[in-house]
Structures are given as structure tokens and as C-alpha cells.
Structure 1
Amino acid sequence: MSMPYDNEAKIKQAVILLQKIVNDTSVPRNIRRAATDAIRNLQDLGLSPAVRAANAIGILEDISQDPNMPTHARISIWNVVSILETVKD
């Protein structure tokens, strides 16, 4: 029965990590914009947690290959994707 809480806790953790990327001015603007889009997707309560996570993963995987991304941001994005991959309905 604690599954919905676990999913929401994982999503909240992912949002916190993404927020750090958004607020990091050393990260290129397009990557920060994608992180903002991912946060927006994660906070869309009209969708199930798994769908929100999948949408965010799609956005993050697209930008994770950006050659201009600083290494620390890439690692953070990989961490977020790892967290979100565990979100199930």
C-alpha cells in the first residue's frame, strides 16, 4: 500500500535534483530548459506517476548526450533517470 507514497517520494527527489541543475548557471541554458520541462512533466498530477516519470526520462535522455553539458550535470541527470526508472504504477 505504500507504493504511491514511494513513487511520489522518488519523483520529489528527482525534482530536487533537477532543480539544482536549473539553478546552476554553469549549465548551458538549453539543458536547464530541458530540466525545467522535465520538472513540469513530473509535477503534472493529471498523469500517473509512471507516465510522468517516463515523460521526464524521455526529455532527460535526449539532453544527456549534449556535448556541452558539464560532467557534474550529466551525472546528476543520470542519477535522476535512475531514480525515475524505478517509478512504477
Structure 2
Amino acid sequence: MATLNEVSEAMRMLINEQDIPRNVRDKMQQMIAEIKAGGDQRILADKLLMQLEDLQSDINLPSYVRTHIWSLSSMLENLE
């Protein structure tokens, strides 16, 4: 089981990779800010899942980035 802090940390690690597209990096930074802002955990997780789904639908997204996004989605689906 994951926590929002673990999801946020995983997003930070992904952002720090050099080959991450700018649109993904910007969106992840926005999502980290939303996590820091707080709120109802379940609602926030659903919102973040929708945003990740939008990101992974980009056909120009490198496959390894898509795999990381799937991993983040899995973490959000299994929040404590």
C-alpha cells in the first residue's frame, strides 16, 4: 500500500530524469503541488488518476515514461 507522500516522491524522481518530456514534467509538478495542498485523499487520488490517464494517452510519449505513469497509477489505486 502506498501513501500520497510516496506517490509525490515517485513523481519527483521521474521529474529529475533528463529524458522526460517537458509537458510531463510540468504536469507532474502541478500534481505534486496539488498533493502538498492537501484535501480529501480519495478525491485527490481520483483527480490525479484522471490527470495521469490524460498524460499516458499521448501517442508521442516514450514507452518507458508510459510505464512509469502506469506505476504511479497503480500506487494511487492502492492508497492506504
* TM-score, structure 1 normalization: 0.77
| TM alignment of 1:1-89, pairs within 5 A | 10-45=3-38, 47-87=39-79
> Identity of aligned pairs, percent?
25
Deviation string, structure 1 residues 20-62 (Cα, Å, up to 9, x no partner): 22112201100111111121222222x1111121121111110
Give runs of ≥4 in structure 1 deviating > 4 Å.
none
Unaligned runs of 5+ in 2: none
1:3 corresponds to which residue?
A: none
Superposed displacement of residue 13, structure 1:
1.3
User: Structure 1: which 5+ residue stretches go unaligned?
Assistant: 1-5
Cα distance between partner residues in 2 of 1:23 and 1:68: 20
Look at both structures and tell me which one has the larger radius of gyration over its CA atoms: 1
